[in-house]
Structure 1
Amino acid sequence: MFQSPEGGLLGVSHLCPPEEASLSFPHAHLSGIITGTTEQLCRTFQSGLGKELHAQLVAQDKQNKHTSYISGPWFDMYLSARDSIVLNFNPFMSFNPDPKPDYNNQLIRATNLTMSAMRFMKTLRAGLLEPEVFHLNPAKSDTDTFKRLIRLVPSALSWYGAYMVNAYPLDMSQYFRLFNSTRLPKPGRDELFTDEKEKHLLVLRNGNFYVFDVLDHDGNILKAAEVHAHLKYILSDNSPTPEFPLAYLPSENRDTWAGLRQELLNNGNKETLRKVDSAMFCLCLDGFPITDLAHLSHTMLHGDGVNRWFDKSFNLIIAKDGNAAVNFEHSWGDGVAVLRFFNEVFKDSTQTPAITPQAQPAPVDSSKVVQKLDFRLNDTLKAGITKAKEKFDSTMQSLTIDSIQFERGGKEILKKHKISPDAVAQLSFQMAFLRQYGQTVATYESCSTAAFKHGRTETVRPASVFTKKCSEAFVREPSQNSTDQLKEMIAQCSKYHNQLTKEAAMGQGFDRHLFALRYLAAAEGLKLPEFYQDPAYGQINHNILSTSTLTSPAVNIGGFAPVVPDGFGVGYGVHDNWIGCNVSSYPARNVRDFLQCVNKALGDIFDVLEGKPL
């Protein structure tokens, strides 16, 4: 096992600024938007101020071996953002249904998921949760033989054994923020708050807030029958939705919310808010069933604003029909940590459920255990909630979400053709956008750098000279290239995409490096370097195609909003025998047409791989 008692990783690699010896620039990625001026600005920055900033960054990094060079600036970036965290930052992942249909009853599933979440928390805090491992060569390292051997190696040396076969245990420093944590709004920059001593769960139903302890005095998890009883009691409470639902406030601009939170504190709500902030997590019990995948996405991404507390580290949402999801606040951590929790909770709740549909709740008086929280609201707060609701409703009505499932094949077929499944999905987005809008645009794909201590993410830039050439061949000149030529272009895209992904995962991307140099310049009080003022830099960071993939047997669908008003938010997964795509947009873009173009692109790619002419 690679884990240290503190829950970090023994010997985990230290994420240093890339290209320590020199500062390099991504010419291939910027193809098509670089001008002579941009090239000159790059050269000037590379040999002048950029070189000085880079030397400072490397020196600073060497003095701070306990963390990565990106960790502090990345927290600052998230916590200093003043936009609403709803849509702009919080994503969602929805669980597949429990394979046993009668376990999808709302009360049964809420109890089982809550109990499994608490078991995960106890395992994590006991230091018994094995880290995930990033395998660069899974044939050698992701085997039972290797796992048996590495257990025999002394813990101080185990990392080196893993390193020799290109296996990297992932950083777990984010995990402690999963529980008892909340993002607190503050003027200018928010704060992360965690209180691991607290034992209670926060439950929202119809916009009403309830708390009850899920750990006893000795820190043991409450009996499942008692949790069952307390949740049944909350579900049977017919209290109407409050006239002024407090849950709208965390959807506000962060400075606006900070001011209103201070008003709440001044108006006698300090202890009540502390219960909300320090709760294990927020369990949201919705009073309606899910009708289709679009309804599922809207419900889990933003809901109606009444029954979520978006500032909590995560909301565990369960609809009337047992459909469940996690909506998480993004500043404290990334998808790797949340997906690990998600997978473990799904597996535990479905394979070793705490209660059965036939179970009876414990004979306890829940009215004496469950506390309904009351908030004191004055006219300022009521007006703030009313305004927040108006903004929330207006914004959510402007968002469209739709999805497709491409059923002709997935990972299995693509791997037989020795083509990267992720590269094919990304190529299909490039082809689709070119077909729909006649151009290629800046594209972002998130890649975890959790193979490094305090790593966060790096950007893979899927739009390249190879995807541009391939997309134009398929969309504009399909008859001018033979099937073999088109197949070769797909192979080139795949090879280059694999290279970009590997570089990003191993800390050799350029986005975070340039971000850190810019952050350092600002911290030094320097004027923004001309390089960062160039339109090409602005264009490559205006990510019209923002994409992310999370594939897991536990995940039904996931998604997020676009990161720019004229963009698409593209959540996707390449499964064994199908490819799923869940896309969001504001009115500037047409989701349905884009998805039809994605479907056409995937069909064309599979035709070519199968030797069929276009």
Structure 2
Amino acid sequence: MAEAHQAVAFQFTVTPDGIDLQLCHEALRQIYLSGLHSWKKRFIRFKNGVMTGVYPGSPGGFMVVVVSYMSYSKYQQLDPSLGMFAKLGQHIPISQYMSTDSQRIVGGVLVGTGLWVTIIMIMRNVLKCLLSWHGWMHARHGSVSWSARLWMILVKVFSGRKPMLYSFQNSLPRLPVPSVKDTCKRYLESVRPLMEDEQYERMKGLAKEFEKNLGPRLQWYLKLKSWWASNYVSDWWEEYIYLRGRGPIMVNSNYYAMDFLYVFPTNIQAARAGNAIHAIMLYRRKLDRGQVKPIYLLANKVPLCSAQWERMFNTTRIPGLETVFSSSKHIAVYHKGRYFKVWMFYDGRLLLPREIEQQMERILADQSEPLPGEERLAALTAGERTPWASARETYFSRGKNKQSLDAIEKAAFVVTLDDTEQCYDSNNPVKSLDRYAKSLLHGKCYDRWFDKSFNLIVFKNATMGLNAEHSWADAPIIGHLWEHVLSMDPVKLGYEDGHCRGEPHPNMPGPQRLQWDLPAECQEVIQSSLTVARSLADDVDCHIFPFSDFGKGLIKKCRTSPDAFIQIALQLAHYRDKGKFCLTYEASMTRLFREGRTETVRSCTMETCAFVRSMIRDETHTYHREERLMLLKQAAEKHQNMYRLAMTGQGIDRHLFCLYVVSKYLGEDSAFLKEVLSEPWRLSTSQTPVQQTELFDLVKHPEYVSSGGGFGPVANDGYGVSYIIVGENLINFHISSKHSSPETDSHRFGTNIRQAMLDILALFQLDNKAK
């Protein structure tokens, strides 16, 4: 094969005349270019580390401070070293070898550097104090107080110029630890609408006992951790919620992202893969160079934590632990049961889209058969974690299996060239989107490497999507990458006659087929994992529907938060669907704090339940429209306040979780904590935020709308709901549940959501107001 020849840098033979040395100049050239590329990357990372380490300082600021200080010292006839060299001269003969002018210059540089570092530390700490104030979140939409305006000016002044992705990490405040009393109070408030009086009084007694006895002791340890660690929640959350779980991560943890809803840039599978892979690699290069802009709130004023970006590429979840590998130069590709290693660099540069398409074409044209056990190998990552961990240690710790597994686990990411066709079909919109979602969520259970940070899936008809592992980061992080890819693909990169722009490379080595030697015992483990995974996948009931009756534009005319509007509609829909309320999970981010991840907004509140009851026919009381509007307003305000509390570190669920972890470390049993953490989330919801609105002009190109993404149900008898608010007039809903539950039906719930949205909007009578 061509790549085998390229791998030989030199050959030699022994002849009667001596040794005949034959150098392969092309191979040596590639080695030189590869080394040059690596050193360039090291230098860029070193430079970025320095720039981030001194931010908001800069080399220019350093020169200004040092030169200004030395000029002032010279004008005032001061000793720049403040007598430092004179004191050093008494013990170390350093001054004996330096002239007076040299001493002045060196002293001025040293003292100027100290002054510069002092200014940086002052600016960082002032900025940290400023970012610890969250009063701006309580301002009404469209109105800003004078204190908030002054605060925004100060944040702008102390934020420095041209920040990189990780520039603000040292300036972000730490996540605060709420008081045990406040957490218990808010917990009881959140479960009041879900419990009968007797059950609630019992829970109230357990909470008071915990608050008085064990709670303060556990709290002391959490306080200690919050002072010592960067974030008192995130490491335990990652370890105990994700990595220590022994159940399948497919469906239960991994989530997916969809392609455009209405746009089909090309129908050539290899070409779509070429542009998408190139766009992802460009994003990785921007990430390595620190050129990805920080994410802000409040009109680019308040920075969010960027720590989760560090593990986007070259990351694999190993059963039992997570490993992050050094930067790799290849990707792994799966097609029809075979695995290939594809290098992303040649001649010291990143492959162009047409060259990547060329590599994909070679894989698609390859007619070789899968090796025994190879086709369904990835089922190990889809089933239970313990058998996979055992098989990995037994069958993949040496030889060609280890080399091939390393090629997958150390790849930048995994690509699946799927042999099925998926897309939105206007003639069959419901079934087509449902099939599309299930394919991205679990596929055939053996054609996605679920342990990888993310899989790019390109279908036979050139539609694509992502499947992402959850432990390394939350959905907005992978969403940021996906927005970049979708914006690059059809417009900036583009196509010519369906193919990527440019020409194929005449001499490029082809993909490398990975080799496996899987004994019968290993294949039995693979089949066992596949059986578990298929049972789980077949039980998933997915329903995706675009809600186009109205969007956030009309909701804002109601002077209501779009998120609160949708969450209240979900509560109304759920009550109509099941005839009862349930514990509801809405994901909120805590990235206003260093290394923050998520917090829970318990959306089922007393106020929301009161509004929902007002919308249900009741023979004992008839509600007027004005009464319902008042209850809706109270429910929306309550929801917004709870969302603010969650974002600002005053949520209750992460605090209760950490208290429970400490209790286990201490060997203490708490009936209160045990009961709290065993309560099932029968309605789990999440909004997919659109973060880079400048990348898409939905006014001129409304067809460039993303379908968003979704996840599997959290409870066996519950619903998972993800929604994305796209532009002013569209909201896409992704609903999941389990066929095995007689209580749930994703399509029925979707119908109830649509009707609830329409019923709530009708209360405002916008048509009458317009007239």
C-alpha displacement at 1:360, in angstroms?
5.7
Cα distance in 2, alignment partners of residues 13 and 317 from structure 1: 38
Q: 2:760 aligns with which of 594, 605, 613?
A: 605
Aligned partner of 1:353 in structure 2 is 493
Q: 2:243 aligns with which of 79, 84, 91?
A: 79
Query: Given the superposition, is the C-alpha separation of residues 21 and 43 from structure 1 closer, same or farther in structure 2, using an over 3 Å criterion?
Result: closer
CA RMSD of superposed structures (Å) = 2.3
Aligned partner of 1:339 in structure 2 is 479
Q: 1:507 aligns with which of 649, 663, 671?
A: 649
Cα distance in 1, alignment partners of residues 730 and 618 from structure 2: 27
Q: Comparing both structures, which one devotes a greater share of its residues to helix?
A: 2
C-alpha displacement at 1:60, in angstroms?
1.8
Cα distance in 2, alignment partners of residues 592 and 4 from structure 1: 44
8 A contact 2:258–2:707 mirrored in 1: yes
Cα distance in 1, alignment partners of residues 520 and 441 from structure 2: 30
Cα distance in 2, alignment partners of residues 429 and 280 from structure 1: 38
Cα distance in 1, alignment partners of residues 686 and 461 from structure 2: 28
Amino acid paired to 1:132: I
Q: CA deviation digits over 1:212-267, x for unaligned, max 9?
A: 1113474x312333212111111222344555321111011111110111122246
Residue 340 of structure 2 corresponds to residue 210 of structure 1 = yes
8 A contact 1:487–1:608 mirrored in 2: yes
C-alpha displacement at 1:15, in angstroms?
1.3
Q: CA deviation digits over 1:509-543, x for unaligned, max 9?
A: 1000110111111122x222121233xx256x300
Residue 749 of structure 2 corresponds to residue 594 of structure 1 = yes
Cα distance in 2, alignment partners of residues 558 and 577 from structure 1: 18
Query: Given the superposition, is the C-alpha separation of residues 490 and 238 from structure 1 closer, same or farther in structure 2, using an over 3 Å criterion?
Result: farther
Query: Given the superposition, is the C-alpha separation of residues 5 and 566 from structure 1 closer, same or farther in structure 2, using an over 3 Å criterion?
Result: closer
Query: Given the superposition, is the C-alpha separation of residues 344 and 386 from structure 1 closer, same or farther in structure 2, using an over 3 Å criterion?
Result: same
The unaligned stretches of length 5 or more in structure 2 are 1-160, 424-431, 691-695, 697-704
Cα distance in 1, alignment partners of residues 190 and 165 from structure 2: 42
Aligned partner of 1:520 in structure 2 is 662
Return 263-272 or 77-86, whichever deviates more.
Answer: 263-272
Query: Given the superposition, is the C-alpha separation of residues 207 and 229 from structure 1 closer, same or farther in structure 2, using an over 3 Å criterion?
Result: same
Aligned partner of 1:449 in structure 2 is 590
8 A contact 1:180–1:195 mirrored in 2: yes
Cα distance in 2, alignment partners of residues 104 and 458 from structure 1: 41
Q: CA deviation digits over 1:32-73, x for unaligned, max 9?
A: 325222111111111221111112211221122xx2111111
Amino acid paired to 2:446: V
SS of structure 2 residue aligned to 1:569:
strand
Aligned partner of 2:133 in structure 1 is none
Cα distance in 2, alignment partners of residues 295 and 242 from structure 1: 29
SS of structure 2 residue aligned to 1:445:
strand
8 A contact 1:14–1:68 mirrored in 2: yes
Aligned partner of 1:31 in structure 2 is 192
Aligned partner of 1:229 in structure 2 is 358
Residue 673 of structure 2 corresponds to residue 543 of structure 1 = no
Give the alignment of 1:256-405 within 5 angstroms. Answer: 256-266=387-397, 268=399, 269-290=401-422, 292-353=432-493, 356=496, 357-358=498-499, 359=501, 361-364=503-506, 368-405=509-546
Residue 307 of structure 2 corresponds to residue 173 of structure 1 = yes
Q: CA deviation digits over 1:4-46, x for unaligned, max 9?
A: 6866624122212224896543132111325222111111111
Query: Given the superposition, is the C-alpha separation of residues 477 and 409 from structure 1 closer, same or farther in structure 2, using an over 3 Å criterion?
Result: farther
Q: 1:94 aligns with which of 252, 258, 264?
A: 258
Residue 707 of structure 2 corresponds to residue 556 of structure 1 = yes
Return 126-135 or 507-516, whichever deviates more.
Answer: 126-135
Cα distance in 1, alignment partners of residues 688 and 570 from structure 2: 16
Query: Given the superposition, is the C-alpha separation of residues 181 and 569 from structure 1 closer, same or farther in structure 2, using an over 3 Å criterion?
Result: same
Give the alignment of 1:7-22 within 5 angstroms. Answer: 9-19=169-179
Amino acid paired to 2:440: M
Cα distance in 2, alignment partners of residues 509 and 324 from structure 1: 37
C-alpha displacement at 1:574, in angstroms?
3.1
Cα distance in 2, alignment partners of residues 230 and 212 from structure 1: 8
Cα distance in 1, alignment partners of residues 265 and 736 from structure 2: 32
Amino acid paired to 1:29: S
Cα distance in 2, alignment partners of residues 451 and 125 from structure 1: 23
8 A contact 1:226–1:364 mirrored in 2: no
C-alpha displacement at 1:306, in angstroms?
2.7
Residue 613 of structure 2 corresponds to residue 472 of structure 1 = yes
C-alpha displacement at 1:126, in angstroms?
0.7
C-alpha displacement at 1:330, in angstroms?
0.5
Residue 628 of structure 2 corresponds to residue 483 of structure 1 = no
Aligned partner of 1:50 in structure 2 is 215
Aligned partner of 1:110 in structure 2 is 273
Normalising to structure 1: TM-score of the pair?
0.88
Cα distance in 1, alignment partners of residues 615 and 767 from structure 2: 13
Query: Given the superposition, is the C-alpha separation of residues 475 and 578 from structure 1 closer, same or farther in structure 2, using an over 3 Å criterion?
Result: farther
8 A contact 2:371–2:516 mirrored in 1: no
Residue 294 of structure 2 corresponds to residue 119 of structure 1 = no
Aligned partner of 1:150 in structure 2 is none
Normalising to structure 2: TM-score of the pair?
0.71
Cα distance in 2, alignment partners of residues 80 and 373 from structure 1: 30
Amino acid paired to 2:731: I
Query: Given the superposition, is the C-alpha separation of residues 348 and 110 from structure 1 closer, same or farther in structure 2, using an over 3 Å criterion?
Result: same
Return 346-355 or 123-132, whichever deviates more.
Answer: 346-355
C-alpha displacement at 1:416, in angstroms?
0.8
8 A contact 1:183–1:193 mirrored in 2: yes
8 A contact 1:115–1:354 mirrored in 2: no
Aligned partner of 2:55 in structure 1 is none
Query: Given the superposition, is the C-alpha separation of residues 477 and 241 from structure 1 closer, same or farther in structure 2, using an over 3 Å criterion?
Result: farther
Aligned partner of 1:151 in structure 2 is none
Cα distance in 2, alignment partners of residues 331 and 600 from structure 1: 35
**Higher relative contact order, structure no. (Cα contacts within 8 Å, ≥ 6 residues apart):** 1
Aligned partner of 1:581 in structure 2 is 733
C-alpha displacement at 1:486, in angstroms?
1.0
Q: CA deviation digits over 1:244-299, x for unaligned, max 9?
A: 32111101111111011112224631111111110010011111211510011011
Query: Given the superposition, is the C-alpha separation of residues 403 and 305 from structure 1 closer, same or farther in structure 2, using an over 3 Å criterion?
Result: same
C-alpha displacement at 1:563, in angstroms?
0.8
Cα distance in 2, alignment partners of residues 402 and 5 from structure 1: 36
Q: CA deviation digits over 1:287-318, x for unaligned, max 9?
A: 12115100110110000123210100000111
Q: Which has the larger radius of gyration?
A: 2
SS of structure 1 residue aligned to 2:461:
coil
Amino acid paired to 1:295: R
The unaligned stretches of length 5 or more in structure 1 are 136-140, 143-166
Cα distance in 2, alignment partners of residues 443 and 263 from structure 1: 42
